């Protein structure tokens, strides 16, 4: 197993937490780059438990993409991002933390981090979406 102990994925910062979640969904759910990121909401991903009780994050909303058109059966992936109990890098914990720090007045999943960051604040993101150009350029 690799380590993600890097400031880029530091879940104690708004930028790091957002990048880590983006990276995990891209890696484990085989996302096509930045396709459809702008249309994602807080409800795009959910947490569930498998047959043995382990929590995982999954994509809950169908979306059309380059390989899945309107005449296709849908494109929700069967991919899962499983919890790592007791591990400080647990992706399910990071997902829960990310959702809890989003601005409650905005439904978008990708929100702009506050200009001045306070790790003790309840909300780390402003009531504004990350711009489509920032998403396209990988500036999350």
Beta bridge partners of 129: 111
pLDDT value of residue 93:
95
pLDDT confidence band for 1 (50 / 70 / 90):
very low
CB neighbour class for 9 (10 Å; exposed up to 12, middle 13-18, buried from 19): buried
At which residue do the structure tokens 């702009």 appear? 112
Predicted confidence (pLDDT) per residue in 12-70, tens digit: 999 999 989 888 888 887 666 566 778 889 999 999 999 999 999 998 886 555 544 44
pLDDT value of residue 140:
66
Predicted confidence (pLDDT) per residue in 78-137, tens digit: 789 999 999 988 999 999 999 999 999 999 999 999 988 899 999 999 999 988 777 665
pLDDT value of residue 103:
97
pLDDT over threshold 50, residue 10: yes
Distance CA 108, CA 3 (A): 29
pLDDT over threshold 90, residue 73: no
pLDDT value of residue 135:
65
Print burial letters for 59-91: b (CB count within 10 Å at least 16), e (below 16): beeeeeeeeeeeeeeebeeeebbebeeeeebbb
pLDDT value of residue 56:
96
Beta bridge partners of 22: none
pTM of the model: 0.82
């Amino acid at each position: 197993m690799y380590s993600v102990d890097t400031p880029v994925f530091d879940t104690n910062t708004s930028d790091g937490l957002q990048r880590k979640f983006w990276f995990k969904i891209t890696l484990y759910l085989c996302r096509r780059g930045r396709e459809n990121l702008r249309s994602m909401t807080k409800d795009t991903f959910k947490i569930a438990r498998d047959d043995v009780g382990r929590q995982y994050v999954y994509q809950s909303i169908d979306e059309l993409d380059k390989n899945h058109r309107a005449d296709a059966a849908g494109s929700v992936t069967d991919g899962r991002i499983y919890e790592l109990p007791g591990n400080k890098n647990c992706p399910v914990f990071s997902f829960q933390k990310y959702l809890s720090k989003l601005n409650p007045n905005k439904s978008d999943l990708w929100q702009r981090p506050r200009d001045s960051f306070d790790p003790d604040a309840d909300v780390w993101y402003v009531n504004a979406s990350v711009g489509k150009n920032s998403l396209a350029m990988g500036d999350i």
